[in-house]
Chains A and B, each alone.
Chain A
Amino acid sequence: MIEFKGVNKWFDKLHVLNQINLMIPKGEVLVICGPSGSGKSTLIRCINKLEPIQKGEIIVNEMSVHKPTTNLTKLRAEIGFIFQQFHLYPHMTALQNIMLAPVNVKKITKVEAEKIARQKLERVGLSEKADSYPAQLSGGQQQRVAIARGLAMSPEIMLFDEPTSALDPEMIGEVLDVMVSLALEGITMCVVTHEMGFAKKVADRVLFMDEGKIIETGKPTDFFDNPKTERAADFISKILTH
């Protein structure tokens, strides 16, 4: 469970998160959308403290994320983060990428970690790529390895920051399929994406942001078909014509 309580964040004078109050119950699939620069990435990056906040509080599984005494390692081990640019380690094979954190953070044995890693690779449909280096994989395959790397820590929460925006159109489907199957498994997910198909299929809720504020939230069909605010309507018409 994730809760934002009056969260504010500034980059110098720029007010990127403006009084965010948000409750994400366990198992929810939340899609976050909004125009470029509205603060979507910043919002989810605060959840595992990749970014500090200046005011308010974020609580994840009873832990106050930004309190100095919080055990960040434990917190981060429970949260998977998927980046737009994958960020696989280029000097390691797919298998080594996936095993790194389980072995060194969870301190499980290499044998055990390899078993889990192979399971997760199979889960994303890439069993045969275990020994490939990132440079030998397509964008879609790299992103699926990154998802397998996140899953190997058995996180309760997965955060995705535009996981398909860096992909060629023909590879978007394979990544979304993996994400849909995760969503159906009941893992808590926050996904920054403009993939309306994905949102309509599995999202419990869509959140629309603009200028650091939450403008509107609603069920995906309500949001996309009957947006309540002008700004959301405007945004949706733009991604439709896109």
Chain B
Amino acid sequence: MLDNFNFRIIFEYLPLFLNGLKFTFLISLVALFLALITGIIACACRISSIKVLKYPVIAYIEIIRSTPLLVQIYFLYFGLPTLGIRVPEIQTGIIALMLNSGAYIAEIIRAGINSVDQGQIEAGLSSGLNYVQRMRFIILPQALGVTVPPLLGQAIVLVKDTSLLSLISVVELTRSGQTMTSERFMPSEAFLTVAFFYMCIYFCLKALADWSQRKLIFREAY
């Protein structure tokens, strides 16, 4: 099969792919950063006892989790303009990814917080530590440990999800493959190359996840 592959064409189109890779990387980075902030805020609301914060956030998380990302992207892509909000496709895409990953990240952080033994919280309470102090000194340091690996997992998902933005004509890695395919009908070469670059990103993130995992195992065993 490889005999039939035209590698020359891949090199010819390399600048296009590298440009796509650059945008995939940047979009992922910005979306992940915003999703982390969204997730932290959403989680804070989700676990608070204030009903006007808690219930809207529960609704948000459930809506995101129960609908496909592509539908969410299309909803924003076609929906925002009807509300009079006109933003470039790339920003629409980043907002969609931010809202989507933010909901999952909120749940990841919440699981981390819930993993801290209730007894330690009571120990903190009974020595007079207030809510912020219990969070800061008892809950978050321990929650962080269990949260990092799933967060990196979510980062990997987010990078792959950026490929859906090609459907609203955002220039990124998958879009580069589509462009090459439409100019020179060579989809195998195009998408093999695209896949290769996604794999590169994946293995970098996975190495990071494994490294943090080793750190955590070390932490638990002391």
Contact = CB atoms under 8 A, between A and B. Distances in A.
Contacts of B122: 50, 81, 83, 87
Contacts, number: 64
Interface stretch (A25-33, A98-106, A184-192, A194-202): A98-106
A153 B128 CA distance: 10
B119 A73 contact: no
A100 B129 CA distance: 9
Contacts of A80: 126-127
B128 A77 contact: yes
B130 A100 contact: no
Nearest to B141: A91
A100 B142 contact: no
A235 interface: no
A40 interface: no
A149 to B, nearest CB: 7
A50 B129 contact: no
Contact of B128 (A73, A90, A135): A73
B133 interface: yes
A79 interface: yes
A146 B145 CA distance: 24
A87 B129 CA distance: 15
B127 A105 contact: yes
Contacts of A101: 127-129
A16 B120 CA distance: 24
B126 to A, nearest CB: 4
A136 interface: yes
A85 B137 contact: no
Interface string A28-54: 000000000000000000001010000
Contacts of B133: 104-105
Contact of A100 (B126, B137, B219): B137
B138 interface: yes
A100 B119 contact: no
A88 B124 CA distance: 10
B11 interface: no
B221 interface: yes
A76 B120 contact: no
Contacts of B123: 81, 83, 87-89, 146
A67 B122 CA distance: 20
A79 B123 CA distance: 12
A149 B125 CA distance: 13
B222 interface: yes
Interface in A63-85: 72-74, 76-77, 79-81, 83, 85
B127 A149 contact: yes
Interface string A122-145: 000000000001011000000000
A157 to B, nearest CB: 11
A105 B128 contact: yes
12 contacts: A72-B128, A73-B128, A83-B123, A87-B117, A91-B219, A100-B129, A101-B127, A104-B129, A105-B128, A135-B221, A135-B222, A149-B127
Given A85-B119, A87-B123, 12 more contacts: A48-B126, A72-B128, A74-B128, A77-B128, A80-B126, A89-B137, A90-B142, A91-B145, A104-B129, A135-B222, A150-B127, A153-B128
Interface of A: 48, 50, 72-74, 76-77, 79-81, 83, 85, 87-91, 100-101, 104-105, 133, 135-136, 146, 149-150, 153
